[in-house]
Amino acid sequence: EKGLSLAKVNKTYHQGAKELHVLNDVSFNLVPGEIVALVGPSGAGKSTLLHSAGLLEKPDSGDILVNGISSASLNDKHRTALRRDTIGFVYQYHHLLPEFSAVENVILPQMITGLSQKKAHKRASELLDMVGLSERLAHRPGELSGGEQQRVAIARALANAPTVLLADEPTGNLDPETANRVFDLLLKLVRSVGLTALIATHNHELANRMDRVLHFEGGKIC
């Protein structure tokens, strides 16, 4: 029962007097190792869906199961622990810490789990090697190109060995050629590690290279 499942997930935002039903009984299932594209118009709620699936945002109702573990009944502490143990995120903007080097940015999330500095450094170096940045360990984000920054962000997402990767327009800020290269790398890594992945993209060509496409509009998968 590994993978990622959403079961009748609802989320409504209140904007003044207005109610916005962003997620309307959303249900789907990603089997382990499945790589699925999430497509839909801007403002449809893809980010909200990813944040909910990633246990960052609590839905109003419904359940999110990660590797068969139901999150609905967990308290905040246990939900956070489940997220840390199982889920990696990549965003459109890299969100790297500007004062820290590439390797430090990949070390930091591991320190939270209590791993030794030495082991975390070793793993961070290996991950940065996997994304082709073994020559850039000591560079700060500002000294890296956009594609390199995003590759550090991918390494960071994998730092705690997640089983599920969630990505929100991971190549949306890059020029088309760089975007293609970074996307190739992301897909290759996700497949080689056997991750289950849900990747929001506006790029239909990239979407069609995944195992399956989920269309999301009007609060529903359609």
Measure the N-to-C terminal CA separation of the chain; round to a whole number of Å. 24
The one segment of 45-53, 115-123, 173-181, 203-211 that binds ligand ADP by CB under 6 A: 45-53
Nearer to ligand ADP, 93 or 117 (CB): 93
Q: Which SS3 state, helix, strand or coil, does residue 193 take?
A: helix
Nearer to ligand ADP, 53 or 185 (CB): 53
Nearer to ligand ADP, 51 or 136 (CB): 51
128, two tokens: 């940065």
Least distance (Å) from ligand ADP to the CB of residue 126? 30
The one segment of 15-23, 60-68, 136-144, 191-199 that binds ligand ADP by CB under 6 A: 15-23
Read out DSSP for 152-186? HHHHHHTTT--SEEEEESTTTTS-HHHHHHHHHHH
Residue 48 touching ligand ADP (CB under 6 A): yes
d(CA 125, CA 128): 5
Cα atoms in the Cβ-side hemisphere of radius 13 Å centred on 106: 36
d(CA 121, CA 107): 6
- Here's the x/- map for ligand ADP, 53-72, by CB under 6 A: it reads as --------------------
Nearer to ligand ADP, 48 or 196 (CB): 48
Closest CA to 169 of 192, 195, 130, 198: 198
According to DSSP H, which parts of the chain are helical? 46-53, 76-86, 102-111, 117-130, 146-157, 176-193, 204-207
Residue 166 touching ligand ADP (CB under 6 A): no
Least distance (Å) from ligand ADP to the CB of residue 92? 6
Nearer to ligand ADP, 42 or 73 (CB): 42
Would you tell me which residues interact with ligand ADP (CB under 6 A)? 13, 15, 20, 22, 40, 42-48, 92, 168
